[in-house]
Structure formats: structure tokens, C-alpha cells
Amino acid sequence: MGLIGSFVRFIVSIGLLIAVLVLGIVFAPQLISAFGNMPGTVTVGNVQIPLLASIIASLVLTLVVNLIAIPFRRSS
């Protein structure tokens, strides 16, 4: 892949990053309220720690990032 291909890959990556950030900002209130009501939330004083939600979010985001990265991997 030459210089043009690398540039296109870079532009697509930046576009995906911007799209994910915009979607995250738009849907942040719904995500925050959903995570607070899940089972597995530990409450210490006035602080709620969503342990199960954090694990699920980590697994889902890992899967999504790996699926998005498949076309961008270099074959040896």
C-alpha cells in the first residue's frame, strides 16, 4: 500500500474516531442512567461503582474495536 492508501486509511480512522466521539456525547446521558441501574453496582456511601457494567462495556468495546480494525490490519 502506497502513500495514497496510507493517507486514506488515516482519514477514515480520523472520521471513525470523530463519529464515535459525537455518538458518545449525544448518548452519554442515556448510557450513564442505564449503567447506574444495572445489577452489580456497588454503593459505597454516596458513590455508586458500576462493576458489572464496566466489565460488560469493556468486553463490548473490545469486540467493536477489533471488528473495526480487521480491514486495517496489514497482512504479512
36 neighbors 50 (Cβ within 8 angstroms): yes
Residues 16-74 have pLDDT tens digits of 889 988 988 888 778 777 666 678 888 888 877 788 888 888 999 899 888 888 877 77
Q: How far apart are CA 49 and CA 36, in angstroms?
A: 8
Q: How far apart are CA 31 and CA 17, in angstroms?
A: 19
pTM of the prediction? 0.52
